[in-house]
Amino acid sequence: MLSLKKYFTEGLIQFTILLSLIGVRVDVDTYLNSQLPPLREIILGQSSAYTQTQFHNLRNTLDGYGIHPKSVDLDYYFTARRLLNQVRALDRFQVPTTEVNAWLVHRDPEGSVSSTQPSTGITLENGSGLQDGTSPDNGVRESGAEQGFGEELEDLGAVAPPVNGDLTKEVPGVEDQTALSLEECLRLLEATFPFGENSEFPAADVSTLSEAVPSESRSAGVQNGLLSPLLAETESPFDLEQQWQDLMSIMEMQAMEVNNTTAETLYNSTSGDLLTSNYSLAPNTPINQNVSLHQASLGSCTQDFSLFSSEIESPSMAGSSALLQLAPDNSTGLNTTFGSTNLSGIFFPPQLNSTVNETAGPELPDPLGGLLDEAMLDEISLMDLAIEEGFNPVQASQLEEEFDSDSGLSLDSSHSPASLSSSEASSSSSSSSSSSSSSSFSEEGAVGYSSDSENVDFEETEGAVGYQPEYSKFCRMSYQDPSQLHYLPYLEHVGHNHTYNMAPGALDPEEPKLPNIGKKSSKEKPSEFLDKQMSRDEHRARAMKIPFTNDKIINLPVEEFNELLSKYQLSEAQLSLIRDIRRRGKNKMAAQNCRKRKLDTILNLERDVEDLQRDKSKLLREKVEFLKSIRQMKQKVQNLYQEVFGRLRDENGQPYSPNQYALQYASDGSVILIPRTLADQQARRQERKQKDRRK
């Protein structure tokens, strides 16, 4: 049963990975609701060490294994023992060896405390000796641990001969390797570590896990009344999945669509590479060992550190005989090494540090639990958002590319810069024929509405695409027909010179002549054309024999305008017409400015929308990255949990059933093993608490 389950699970994992790698999206959501832990593992824990391992093995270790993504043969996976073992080895690989060592060291000294306690609960103390041992034993540990976990696990994990019969039967090669590593670690620790009187550390000559465990059990469990659950694992690690249902349920949210790149990254992340990249820890390097030690020391935070529930009350712990405290011993003063801070730092990638600090800060009673919860909440909300917006990384990237390419505003294609320049050039060139026309364009921008300057800025920002066309529109608005301008220079001011409020001197040159009308009339053909081109007010002015140009009527300042009127003897009708011309002329320019302004507003809004969309795309991408990191962290926690739990042994040297026991972080910073029922209870309580808090 167990073996079948394993094969099935791993095969599915690999298959899923391959599918994801080739771009096939595996919609496992429909299976999430099923009560099949393996599927959960496969689906939700895509980033699990197993998956990673598979991935790497397929690509690197199993060269030419002949697995083509498009012709995946599950039989290979099911029957490839070596591959499976390697996968498991990698899984172990991810879990720091030092962690295990730390616990081992701890437990013994702690025996005194919980010696009277039954085997129901086990408190894993943060290895006091671990940290200390890290520095002094660095070299030794390095060699031993690294050999065990780095090389052997990676390459020989599956093939490694079992230490004993039990291990061979129930524990795959990986476990054996782990056992060996533990032995190594134990030896090293013992050799380098001066254990306290109480410390019943296993004999350095422990040749096998089975031996080591019993010895420990005897020493710790019998003498101190403590049980040593740390070594050989008789049950399949997959059974532990049930214990992680809570976490898994949380991780269900991660069913977010991930593209191939994401999946690959995920694999890497779960593997040692991830550690290296995110934590600057090299799995195979001595540094990794150090890191592992730190991880091991994480557990001991001053606050509650519960994987499932932060609400393990100390009273219940103390009073409950079911709880076994293995390492409450503070004599070594190392329990503090299990600080929540360290934990958070380890579990969260650098980019998440800020978040970690917030959620797992000292002020928080339940660093890990809180952290996970917060992460879950965020993830949920983010996922919801993503779902609502129908966002996926691919879309985001595409969107981003679109924005990056910045095709500009979706303006009429006819409004190309070229057309603009041409039109502008033509108009300006034509207008340049007139004396004052050259200044019209710039002056227009300088007068009243300052949209022109804004346009310039906008063009610079937007690459001059899309906005200039509008500018050309304005040009047309401002400029009258070139021919008209040519023959009616005075109209030019009306058309595009908005400097009516400027000093009249600039416009005066033609005024004295006052012959504009006569000038026009001098040319018959042009005059006819001009008659058509003249505005109604101009016609009216000419009909009423207004002695000055409409330009002056419109653009002269009030004082000068009144002064001009006073110079002439004008009838009431003429004065009325002049005032109407002035009013309409000003209103005309105002209308032009108004329209220009309105257009600018629209364009600016369009640009703002574009910017916002770009920002949104960026944020969504960041969200995906964060979710990825969170997932990786969860996977790490899960792996760590399995690693620790799998090594626990009762007084009889038997592993604890994940169905009956669960690990939790106590308020005093220790890790305890409690009955599953109690853990579930507390988990439920915490859920309620979380809900209330959210409300």
Partner DNA sequence: GGCTTTTGTCATGCC
Partner DNA sequence: CTGGCATGACAAAAG
| Residues contributing to the site for DNA (CB under 7 A) | 448-449, 473, 476-477, 480, 495, 500-501, 532, 535-537, 557-558, 561, 580, 582-588, 590-595, 597-598
Nearer to DNA, 218 or 588 (CB): 588
**3-class DSSP state for residue 488?**
coil
**3-class DSSP state for residue 344?**
helix
Strand partners, 649: 655
Instruction: Give the CA distances from residue 542 to residues 136, 156, 470, in Å, rounded to whole numbers and listed in that order.
Output: 106, 106, 35
Q: Number of C-alpha atoms within 13 angstroms, CB side, residue 185? A: 32
**Distance (Å, whole) CA 170 – CA 175:** 9
Nearer to DNA, 169 or 532 (CB): 532
Query: Locate tokens 């009423």: which residue?
Result: 544
Instruction: Give me the least distance between CB of 522 and DNA, in Å please.
Output: 23
| Closest C-alpha among 660, 666, 674 to residue 121 | 674
Nearer to DNA, 323 or 553 (CB): 553
Nearer to DNA, 370 or 495 (CB): 495
**Distance (Å, whole) CA 504 – CA 641:** 87
Instruction: Give me the least distance between CB of 412 and DNA, in Å please.
Output: 8
Q: Report residue 173 as tokens.
A: 């090669």
Strand partners, 124: 671
Q: Dihedral, CA atoms, 6, 9, 10, 12, nearest 10 degrees? A: 150
Instruction: Give me the least distance between CB of 447 and DNA, in Å please.
Output: 8
Nearer to DNA, 244 or 441 (CB): 441
Nearer to DNA, 155 or 560 (CB): 560
Instruction: Give me the least distance between CB of 512 and DNA, in Å please.
Output: 22
Nearer to DNA, 81 or 583 (CB): 583
Nearer to DNA, 279 or 474 (CB): 474
**3-class DSSP state for residue 507?**
helix
**Distance (Å, whole) CA 275 – CA 505:** 78
Provide the 10 A C-beta neighbour count for residue 452: 18
Nearer to DNA, 542 or 586 (CB): 586
- The sheet with strand 671-675 has its strands ordered as 123-124, 671-675, 661-665
Instruction: Give me the least distance between CB of 610 and DNA, in Å please.
Output: 21
Nearer to DNA, 440 or 480 (CB): 480
Instruction: Give me the least distance between CB of 599 and DNA, in Å please.
Output: 9
**Distance (Å, whole) CA 392 – CA 400:** 12
**Distance (Å, whole) CA 356 – CA 370:** 10
| Closest C-alpha among 229, 241, 237 to residue 176 | 237
Nearer to DNA, 228 or 480 (CB): 480
Instruction: Give me the least distance between CB of 254 and DNA, in Å please.
Output: 48
Q: Report residue 99 as tokens.
A: 């962690």
CA 215 from centre of chain:
48
* DSSP letter for each residue of 567-606: HS---HHHHHHHHHHHHHHHHHHHHHHHHHHHHHHHHHHH
Whether 125 and 110 have beta carbons less than 8 Å apart is answered as yes
Instruction: Give me the least distance between CB of 569 and DNA, in Å please.
Output: 18
| Closest C-alpha among 230, 237, 233 to residue 45 | 237
Nearer to DNA, 525 or 691 (CB): 525
Whether 608 and 595 have beta carbons less than 8 Å apart is answered as no
**Distance (Å, whole) CA 242 – CA 233:** 16
Taken as a whole, the chain contains a residue count of 695
**Distance (Å, whole) CA 679 – CA 259:** 36
Strands (E), 649-694: 661-665, 671-675
Strand partners, 577: none
Nearer to DNA, 62 or 411 (CB): 411
Instruction: Give me the least distance between CB of 513 and DNA, in Å please.
Output: 24
Nearer to DNA, 590 or 612 (CB): 590
Nearer to DNA, 387 or 590 (CB): 590
Instruction: Give me the least distance between CB of 576 and DNA, in Å please.
Output: 11
**3-class DSSP state for residue 649?**
strand
Instruction: Give me the least distance between CB of 600 and DNA, in Å please.
Output: 10
Nearer to DNA, 211 or 537 (CB): 537
**Distance (Å, whole) CA 287 – CA 298:** 16
Nearer to DNA, 359 or 480 (CB): 480
**Distance (Å, whole) CA 241 – CA 42:** 11
| Closest C-alpha among 246, 180, 249 to residue 211 | 180
Instruction: Give me the least distance between CB of 542 and DNA, in Å please.
Output: 13
Instruction: Give me the least distance between CB of 608 and DNA, in Å please.
Output: 18
Whether 475 and 620 have beta carbons less than 8 Å apart is answered as no
Instruction: Give me the least distance between CB of 527 and DNA, in Å please.
Output: 16
How many helices (H) and strands (E) are present in the chain, helices listed first? Answer: 34, 3
Which DSSP state fits 522?
H
Instruction: Give me the least distance between CB of 469 and DNA, in Å please.
Output: 9
**Distance (Å, whole) CA 281 – CA 349:** 11
